[in-house]
């Protein structure tokens, strides 16, 4: 009896290479195109050949870094589609944090996802003026809506609303106060209809009142990688949680640096028995304060969690606080 196995995401050519590896135990990557190597890596993950993935990741990073930077959008999408490519994820994070300008200058910059764009414009290591950042954001927003007129003077009210809706998550991270008055007048004012009313009013007051102006610089700081011992959240999540703890807005600069120390991990400290797992959790977390609990929803990428500033007692008593909160992340 023959069994028909369908692998729609793997081409016959790539599958043949995988078969050679399975039966021969070796694979010579020098003879393949870079894109083929990426496809081999994706196929290896789909076929659960986990021992092959680190080798392929290392080869790409050590030998094809320039190509990956030029095709960053593809590598970023593949890396973060799941957690199977940790080395590529780190490569992408390093580029975002240390050399974000490279991504802005990509020929296909306009195709990057919104989440990545927001990460970029929040970055303190950007070596460009705020007006350039604004122009890149506008360029990205227009590219998402190719039906909009090419001439801004031809925009209708609906056209402005379309662009406003596209950029509503990005605009809060633009540091408009870093602009010169002429830059605001020539580059931002024509797009006033996409700005929130309160923001626009505040900017008008700022740029019209010379006495109120003071420089707010985009400070370039040395990048320090934050190591988070978690298989669920990243340092970007930690930064956001830290801001919530300090009651800051997303666009505010984080003033305090918190150390997140792993207390309990279910895969490490738990057991197969549900009750025993809760007992272990109680034992480890008893009398601990300022704790964050995170969990990943089975079957999708949603992350649920909460922050508790007061001690865990587990003695049928309860405490009162106004500083606790719950949260969720959609890890798309």
Radius of gyration of the chain (CA): 24
pLDDT 10s per residue in the chain (332 long)? 555 567 677 888 998 999 988 888 888 888 899 999 999 999 999 998 999 999 999 999 999 999 999 899 999 999 988 788 999 999 998 888 888 888 988 888 999 999 889 988 887 767 778 899 999 999 999 999 999 999 999 999 999 999 999 999 999 889 888 888 889 999 999 999 999 998 898 888 888 865 444 433 333 333 344 557 787 887 778 888 888 888 887 666 666 667 788 888 887 776 666 567 778 888 888 888 889 999 888 877 788 999 999 988 878 777 888 889 999 987 55
Tell me the CA distances in angstroms from 177 to 172, 181, 203, 251, one per residue in order: 12, 9, 8, 13
Nearest to 142 by CA among 129, 159, 154: 159
Estimate the crossing angle of helix 34-46 against helix 12-24, to 10 degrees: 70
Compute the distance between CA of residue 12 and CA of residue 78 in angstroms, rounded to an integer. Answer: 20
Compute the distance between CA of residue 84 and CA of residue 315 in angstroms, rounded to an integer. Answer: 41
Tell me the CA distances in angstroms from 317 to 129, 235, 280, 314, 326, one per residue in order: 55, 34, 19, 7, 21
Residue position matching structure tokens 């870079």: 34
DSSP assigned state of 51: T
Would you list the domain boundaries of the chain? 12-98, 111-212, 235-330
pTM of the model: 0.57
């Amino acid at each position: 009896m023959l069994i028909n196995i369908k692998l729609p995401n793997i081409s016959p050519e790539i599958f043949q290479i995988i078969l050679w590896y399975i039966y021969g135990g070796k694979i010579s990557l020098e003879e393949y195109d870079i894109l083929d190597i990426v496809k081999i890596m994706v196929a290896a993950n789909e076929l659960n050949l986990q021992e092959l993935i680190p080798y392929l990741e290392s080869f790409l990073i050590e030998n094809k870094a320039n190509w990956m930077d030029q095709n960053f959008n593809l590598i970023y999408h593949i890396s973060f589609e799941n957690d199977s490519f940790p080395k590529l994820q780190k490569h992408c994070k390093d580029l975002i944090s240390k050399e974000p300008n490279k991504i802005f200058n990509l020929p296909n910059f306009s195709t990057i996802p919104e989440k990545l764009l927001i990460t970029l414009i929040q970055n303190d290591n950007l070596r460009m003026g705020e007006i350039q950042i604004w122009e890149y954001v506008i360029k990205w927003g227009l590219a998402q809506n190719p039906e909009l007129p090419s001439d801004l003077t031809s925009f209708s009210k609906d056209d402005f609303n379309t662009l406003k809706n596209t950029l509503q998550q990005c605009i809060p991270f633009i540091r408009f106060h870093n602009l010169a008055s002429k830059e605001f007048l020539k580059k931002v004012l024509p797009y006033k209809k996409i700005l929130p009313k309160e923001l626009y009013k505040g900017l008008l007051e700022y740029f019209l009142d010379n006495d109120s102006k003071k420089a707010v610089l985009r400070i370039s700081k040395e990048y320090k990688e934050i190591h988070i011992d978690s298989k669920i959240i990243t340092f970007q999540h930690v930064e956001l949680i830290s801001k919530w703890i300090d009651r800051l807005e997303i666009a505010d600069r984080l003033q305090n640096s918190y150390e997140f120390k792993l207390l309990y991990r279910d895969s490490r400290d738990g057991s197969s028995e549900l009750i025993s797992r809760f007992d272990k959790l109680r034992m480890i977390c008893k009398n601990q304060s300022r704790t964050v609990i995170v969990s990943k929803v089975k079957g999708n990428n949603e992350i649920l969690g909460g922050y508790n500033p007061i001690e865990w007692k587990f003695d049928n008593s309860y405490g009162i606080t106004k500083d606790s909160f719950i949260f969720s992340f959609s890890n798309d």
